[in-house]
Structure 1
Amino acid sequence: MAPDYRAGMTALDITEADGIVTVLLNRPAQRNAIDAAMIGEIHELCADLEAEPRIAIITGGTEGVFAAGADIAQLRDRGRADALTGINGTAFERIRRLPMPTIAAIDGYALGGGAELTYACDIRIGTPRTIFGQPEPGLGITAGAGATFRLVRLVGESVAKHLLLAGDKLTADRAFQVGLLHSIVEPSDLPTAATALAQKMQKLSPIALRATKLVTDADPAAHPQVDLLAQAMLFTDDEKHRRMTEFLSRREPPANPER
Structure 2
Amino acid sequence: MADPLRIDRYDDRVVATLDRPAVRNAIDQATIDALHALCAELEETPRTLILTGAGGVFASGADIAQLRERRAADARAGINTHAFRRVRELPMPVIAAIDGYALGGGAELAYAADIRIATSSIQIGNPETGLGILAAAGATWRLPQIVGEARAAELLLTGRILGAEEALEWGLVSAVHPADELLAAAGAIADRIAANDPLATRSTKRALLAPPDAHPRIELELQAELFESPEKVRRMTAFLERRKKK
Take 1:84 and 1:253, find their aligned partners in 2: how far apart are those partners? 61
Match of 1:33?
26
The equivalent position to 1:44 in structure 2, one of 21, 37, 42, is 37
Secondary structure of the equivalent of 1:165? helix
Match of 2:58?
66
Gaps of 5+ in 1: 1-7, 255-259
The one-letter code matched in structure 2 to 1:249 is: E
Q: Within the alignment, does 1:90 sit opposite 2:82 as a pair?
A: yes
Match of 1:226?
218
Take 1:39 and 1:216, find their aligned partners in 2: how far apart are those partners? 25
Per-residue deviation at 1:161?
1.0
Match of 1:244?
236
Per-residue deviation at 1:18?
3.8
Per-residue deviation at 1:60?
0.4
Match of 1:132?
124
Q: Within the alignment, does 1:177 sit opposite 2:169 as a pair?
A: yes
Gaps of 5+ in 2: none
The equivalent position to 1:159 in structure 2, one of 134, 145, 151, is 151
Give a deviation string over 1:10-39, Cα, whole Å, max 9, x none.
Answer: 110000234210000010101000000000
The equivalent position to 2:12 in structure 1, one of 12, 19, 34, is 19
The one-letter code matched in structure 2 to 1:188 is: D
Secondary structure of the equivalent of 2:95? strand
* TM-score normalised per structure 1: 0.93
Q: Aligned residue pairs: how many?
A: 246
Take 1:160 and 1:149, find their aligned partners in 2: how far apart are those partners? 9
Does the Cα contact within 8 Å between 1:9 and 1:41 map onto a contact in 2? no
Secondary structure of the equivalent of 2:73? helix
Take 1:115 and 1:181, find their aligned partners in 2: how far apart are those partners? 11
Per-residue deviation at 1:131?
1.3
Per-residue deviation at 1:133?
1.4
Match of 1:5?
none
The one-letter code matched in structure 1 to 2:71 is: G
Per-residue deviation at 1:151?
0.3
The one-letter code matched in structure 2 to 1:26 is: D
Secondary structure of the equivalent of 1:67? coil
Match of 1:77?
69
Q: Cα RMSD over matched residues? A: 1.1
The one-letter code matched in structure 2 to 1:177 is: E
* TM-score normalised per structure 2: 0.98
Take 2:181 and 2:158, find their aligned partners in 1: how far apart are those partners? 32
The one-letter code matched in structure 2 to 1:152 is: P
Match of 1:146?
138
Secondary structure of the equivalent of 1:56? strand
Match of 1:99?
91
The equivalent position to 2:187 in structure 1, one of 190, 195, 210, is 195
Looking at CA atoms only, which structure, 1 or 2, has the larger radius of gyration?
1
Secondary structure of the equivalent of 2:14? strand
The one-letter code matched in structure 1 to 2:20 is: R
Take 2:33 and 2:56, find their aligned partners in 1: how far apart are those partners? 25
